[in-house]
Amino acid sequence: MKEKSGAGLSRRQVLLSSAAAFFVTLTGSAGATIISGATPFKPFDYNPPETLGPAGWYFFSPEEGKTVEALVSRIVPADDLSVSGKDAGCATFIDRQLAGSYGTFERLYMKGPFIPGTIEQGDQSELVPRHRYRIGLADLNEHCRTTFGKTFAELTEADQDKTISGIETGDIAFRRIDSKMFFGQLLTNTMEGFFSDPIYGGNRDMVSWKMIGFPGARYDYRDYIERHNEKLDLPPLSIAGRPEWKTKG
């Protein structure tokens, strides 16, 4: 049954005609603008990325930094495709993230109660990333000293791999933190560091982007939309530009 409005028009007809009039007015007064040349804004002008200097540790102690470098080098070992996780800057990326707002979960709700949850509920731990690394690295080296008489960074690659496998499965239990949770945190952050924009300290020289053929943080791809089944081989571009641009300036 139709609802009538005014002189016999249905409500549906009134709404459709009103919407049509709105869009006609809108498109008539606001023409689309195609931006060419330099962008009319500065990237991150109001929300700049958290970045720190290229040298030294900002969160890790020297021993912690050495341990993390050894860990990421085994999670991402050097091969014919890329350099190791250490040489790609993964440890530097993790250090810079922990020194910033991510390290304290500043943007997450971190009030109790803290109780074990289901997989679907996600992370329920009261430990923020800074605590997880500080405690986890100490427990890892404590385990290695007890088992091998050495720190993790001093072990052979075979013993390092064996130890990493043990904490991944939980067969190696840490004293103060769940070893599987620590490994999950480390693995996630290592992958983020390997594939992140180099402005954050990882993916040094855009090594992972070159490996997978990712063109990076380009403004747009309108010039390439219609170029189907074509290998473009675009050099990767960071948020901060390409390294060779800085040397030319």
| 4 or 142, greater pLDDT | 142
- Res 39: pLDDT: 56
Instruction: Return d(Cα 139, Cα 211) in angstroms, integer.
Output: 35
- Res 22: pLDDT: 47
- Res 70: pLDDT: 98
pLDDT digits (tens, 9 = 90+) for 56-114: 899 999 999 999 999 999 999 999 999 999 999 999 999 999 999 899 988 777 787 88
Strands 9-10, 4-5: parallel, antiparallel or unpaired by DSSP?
A: antiparallel
| 174 or 28, greater pLDDT | 174
- Res 247: pLDDT: 43
For residues 139-173, b (16+ Cβ closer than 10 Å) or e, as one string? bbbebbeeebeebbbbbeeeebeebbebbbeeebe
Average confidence (pLDDT) over 32-43: 55
Cα 12 to the chain's mean position, in Å? Answer: 47
- Res 20: pLDDT: 52
Q: Is the pLDDT of residue 53 over 50?
A: yes
Task: Name the pTM for this structure.
Answer: 0.75
Neighbours of 179 (CB within 10 A): 21
Contact predicate 94/189, CB 8 Å:
yes
Average confidence (pLDDT) over 1-29: 51
* % of the chain beyond a pLDDT of 90: 51
Contact predicate 99/59, CB 8 Å:
yes
pLDDT digits (tens, 9 = 90+) for 161-218: 999 999 999 999 999 999 999 999 999 999 999 999 999 999 999 999 999 989 888 8
- Res 141: pLDDT: 98
Contact predicate 246/205, CB 8 Å:
no
